[in-house]
Amino acid sequence: MSYEALFSPFKIRGLELKNRIILPGMNTKMTKSKHDIGEDLIAYHVARAKAGCALNIFECVAICPAPHAYMYMGLYNDHHVEQLKKLTDAVHEVGGKMSVQLWHGGFSPELFFDETNVLEKPENLSVERIHEIVEEFGLAAKRAVEAGFDSVEFHAAHSYLPHEFLSPGMNKRTDEYGGNFENRCRFLFETITAIRNNIPEDMPFFMRVGCIDELMDETMTEAEIVEFINRSADLGVDVADISRGNAVSFATVYEVPPFNLAHGFNIENIYNIKKQIKIPVMGVGSIKTGEMANRVIEEGKFDLVGIGRSQITDPDWVAKVRDGKEDTIRHCIGCVQGCYDAIIDPKMKSITCTHNPMVAQEYKGLPKTEEAKKVMIIGGGMAGLMAAQILKKRGHEPVIFESSDKLSGQFALAGVAPMKQDWANMAIWEAEEVKRQGIEVMLNTAVTPEKIAEIAPDHVIIAIGSDYVAPEIPGIDSPNVYSQYQVLRGEVNPTGHVAVVGCGLVGTEVSQLLASRGQEVTAIERKGIGTGMNMLRRMFLPGELKYYKIAKLAGTDVTGIKPGEIHYNITDKKTKEIIPGTLECDSVVICTGITSRPSEDLKAKCQELNIPYNVIGDAVKARDARIATLEGYNVGMSI
């Protein structure tokens, strides 16, 4: 498809965009020590601009020291200008355009504060300090011009300070900056004026705003949102970048949507606002395909489309859509493990991606090897497939040996659960990518130490994954007791009342799968139901358990299984009393006991033959796919 609407040019004041695709501002965590730009962040933006993205919006830049926590860049001194000029120059050199998101985080960045930060939110700001912040926004805009940005964006959404002033649910002031709608808008209108007065007449001015103020005790009405945007336009805002969500309620999930939300979940909400405002609209919200992106432009629902996490997952998304190569796009699966989870995890140095562990590593490229090696990859799961792809691109000769009749390993089973079709598609895509690259694959081939000796490779990668080992529960061998793998592979289909034992991440999804097929399910977990799920995924869990009518037995230890029943001990949270119980059921599914497959014999043979080897993925320890693909990438780069 040509997608003419999506690839049509668009002009905003003096800025001409070559197409309608924007990289929204998204935190990458790549800023160095709060104040510096490194080659990794530059390469990240250059890669997406080089692929044809019309405009990259640089994420959340602090306009003053108070909210400037460690993961953000600043724009309030000359050093920041010099640093950011390196970024804009590099993007301009490859034909791209850059915008910058002018930001005061209010209470939201408090988690990442150090001793230099000050918590500023509507209720603790003096009027004098409010005026200073307005001036600081204006000065940051002036510096953005000096740093070479092509436009600016005022971030007035997502519970950051401007949104806190705007929303009655967060602004409890009783003076001229709080209370009625006019007063709540005052800080934002003053800020918009300050920004507009400090940028050239022909520079476009974007504003990020929510289409719905929701899930708080008090919220803005739709009419107020529309009036706010239109009056902002009168003050000089050119484009409404319409998002959704806040950090004080369930609406957090709309900011970084996980797979639980449908593709394009926000389109109609944005269009509803667009029909009532006087300026062009940029829309965002899990738009992942060229067809959907083109359609929202063609149908007039958006004027510009934000393609965010899809461009994290594949920096060449724009070029592949433009050139009719959509089948080669690495698609975002909505796991949010490498993006959102990395942001809130202080141990993670930058974002990454389950489907693209090369994120934040773009500056390294894929250097060609000086000596091509034959690399024996034992196991065709996510870790092995990623290692093979990286090795092949670098000029090595990887050969994948897989004991089953298909590639993708256990990750393919992750796509069986409800709402996880994107995960299943990733498993299929990875197997197809191996074929596209011409990587040799040996299916139905179990590797023994003797096989290693026979092949005599230059290097061995052991990626044999994990498997189910029945836990030591009395009666585990009773009839109608199955493993999670038997269910997910379709080998068995338990019916009636099913007890699912071990309801962490996988067990919870197995419970939902069985319940979606009409079975009565009781989820049993030693800790809490859903243990191991990330924060955004867990936020959906109460509603999903209710929807599927799944009964819960948390804090429960299974003590024995007999035909037709499970025996357990449950600990009272308050008294710590251990109370025994019995649950009648027709079948039991065990979702514990996953452990690495043994590989000592393979390692020993490599050592005997002096063949270098690596163990990666679940073969080290049963973990998630993000770690598996990252280890595959790392070993592929190291050989």
> Which CATH number is associated with domain 366-468+597-638?
3.40.50.720
As a whole number, mean pLDDT of residues 290-315 equals 98
3 state DSSP class of 209: strand
Residues 6+ apart with CB under 8 A from 180: none
3-state secondary structure of 22: strand
In this prediction, residue 576 carries a pLDDT of 85
Write the pLDDT tens digit of every residue in 306-342: 999 999 999 999 999 999 999 999 999 999 999 999 9
Structure tokens that stand for 394 in this block: 């670098």
Mean pLDDT of the chain: 97
pLDDT in tens, 418-442: 999 999 999 999 999 999 999 999 9
Strand, coil or helix: what is 448? Answer: coil
Total-model pTM = 0.96
How confident is the model over 159-181, as a mean pLDDT?
98
Q: What are 492-538's pLDDT values in tens digits?
A: 999 999 999 999 999 999 999 999 999 999 999 998 999 989 999 99
Largest CA distance in the chain: 82
What local confidence, expressed as pLDDT, does residue 574 receive? 85
- By 3-state DSSP, what share of the chain in percent is helix, strand and coil, each rounded to 5? 35, 20, 45
Which residues are catalytic, by number? 160
What's the pLDDT tens digit per position in 70-128?
Answer: 999 999 999 999 999 999 999 999 999 999 999 999 999 999 999 999 999 999 999 99
pLDDT at 1 over 80: no
- Provide the pLDDT for residue 76: 98
pLDDT at 573: 81
Percent of the chain's residues with pLDDT above 70: 100
Sign of the dihedral defined by the CA atoms of residues 228, 231, 235, 237, in that order:
positive
Full DSSP string of 40-51: HHHHHHHHHHHT
- Range in 8-12, 218-222, 411-415 with the lowest mean pLDDT: 411-415
* 481-592 topology per CATH: FAD/NAD(P)-binding domain (3.50.50)
Q: Give helix then strand counts, H and E, for the chain.
A: 20, 26
The predicted model gives 595-602 an average pLDDT of 97
CATH of domain 10-362: 3.20.20.70
Give the position of tokens 């959102």: 340
Residue carrying the six token digits 């009532």: 276
Q: Where are the domains of the chain?
A: 10-362, 366-468+597-638, 481-592
Residue 370 confidence (pLDDT): 95
pLDDT at site 571 = 87
Residue 347: count of CB within 10 angstroms of its CB: 5
